[in-house]
Amino acid sequence: MTPLSHPAVPSREFHCIRAQRGRPRGARLLVGVAAAVLLAATAGGCTTVGHRNSGGGLLSNWSASASSSAPRSEAEWRREADMLGQRYRNSPDDRETAVAYAKALGATGQRAQAVSVLEQTSLRHPTDKTVLGAYGRALADAGRYDQALSVLGRAHTPDRPDWRILSAQGAVLDQLGRHEEAQRYYASALKIVPGEPTVLSNLGLSYALAKDLPRAEETLRQAVARRSDDPRVRQNLALVVGLRGNFADAEAIARADLPADEAAANVAYLRAMIAKGDWKGMGQPPKIAARGQS
C-alpha cells in the first residue's frame, strides 16, 4: 500500500514519491498517493527515476529480511533478468532461480511474464511457501487481486503465520478497498514483529486510504522513528502530512530525499489537487511493487 501510495501489493507496493519515466514532474506526489509504499508486503520498490521497479506502490517484501538495500538501476535489473532468464531456461525446476528471475522481470515492468514464470513454478512445487508467496505478490503486482489473496492464503498457515505474508495480504485488501480488513492483517503482523517499520508504514497508508489522516500521520511518524534511514517511509509521511494541509512540513520532510525543486513541485501538485477537492482521484489504490525484499 507501499495504500495512499499503493498492497499489494501490493503489495502492495501500496510508497515513494518520485515519478515514473514519462510522468510530468508535478505528478510525483500523486504517484505517492496512488503508489506510496506498501513496505511490508514488498520491501523494495517505489517507482523512481533513479531506481525504477515494476510498479511502485505498497511495499511488498520478497526476501526474508525487511532491511532495505541499495536501489538498483533499471539497467542493472535488466542485466540480471537476462542472466537469470538463461539460467531459468536451463533449469526450470530450480525454485530459487525462478523466484529471482520473476523478481527481476517485475522490476523491469514485465509483470505478466513474472506471473507466468511463478505460475509454472508453483505447478512444479505446489506446497513451497516461498514460491507461493512470490507468486501471490506477482499476481497482486499485475492487478489480479482476488487470485493474489487466494495464493497468499496458501503461502503460510495459521499455526505458523509469516508476518511478511500477512502484510502482503493487507496490501492486497487495501487495493480492493477493504481497509478495515487490511488493518487487521497488519495488526496480526505487528503482534509477530512489534514496531516493524515496514508494517507500520503500510498501516499508516491504509489509515490514509480510509481517510483517517490523524491516525495515519501518527502511525507513519512511528515508522519513521524506527527507520529514519528509509526514504520510502519518510516520503509516505510527507504525503500524509501534505494531505492534512501542512504543506511546509510536508516539503521539509520531502527535502530529506528529493532535490528542493522536486519536493516543492510535489507539494504544489498536492495542494492543487486538494484545492480542487480531487481526493477521489488521489486516493485510487496503488499497485503493489512486487520486488525488493520480502
Residue 44 lies in a domain: yes
Residue type, 124: R
CA atoms within 13 A on the CB side of 292: 45
The residues with which 293 forms a beta bridge, in sequence order, are: none
Question: Counting Cβ atoms within 10 Å, is residue 200 exposed (0-12), middle (13-18) or buried (19+)?
Answer: buried
The three cell numbers locating residue 36? 506510496
How many structural domains is the chain composed of?
1
Stated pTM of the model: 0.75
Q: Is residue 15 part of a domain?
A: no
Range of the domain at 261: 25-282
Give domain status of residue 288, yes or no: no
Q: pLDDT tens for the chain, 294 residues: list them.
A: 333 333 333 333 333 333 333 344 444 444 344 344 454 333 333 322 222 233 333 333 222 223 344 568 889 999 999 999 999 999 999 999 999 999 999 999 999 999 999 999 999 999 999 999 999 999 999 999 999 999 999 999 999 999 999 999 999 999 999 999 999 999 999 999 999 999 999 999 999 999 999 999 999 999 999 977 788 888 899 999 999 999 999 999 999 888 999 889 888 888 887 887 755 445 443 333 222 233
Rg (CA), the chain: 17
Which residues, in sequence order, are CB contacts of 271 under 8 Å at separation 6+? 242, 247
In a domain, 76, yes or no: yes
Contacts of 132 (CB under 8 A, 6+ apart): 122, 151, 152, 154, 155
The CATH number assigned to the domain holding 240 equals 1.25.40.10
Tell me, yes or no, whether 290 lies in a domain.
no
In a domain, 8, yes or no: no
Residue 18 lies in a domain: no
Instruction: Give φ, ψ of 45 to 5 degrees.
Output: -150, 100
For 220-249, letters b (16+ CB in 10 Å) and e give bbbbbeebeebbbbbbbbbbbbbbbebbeb
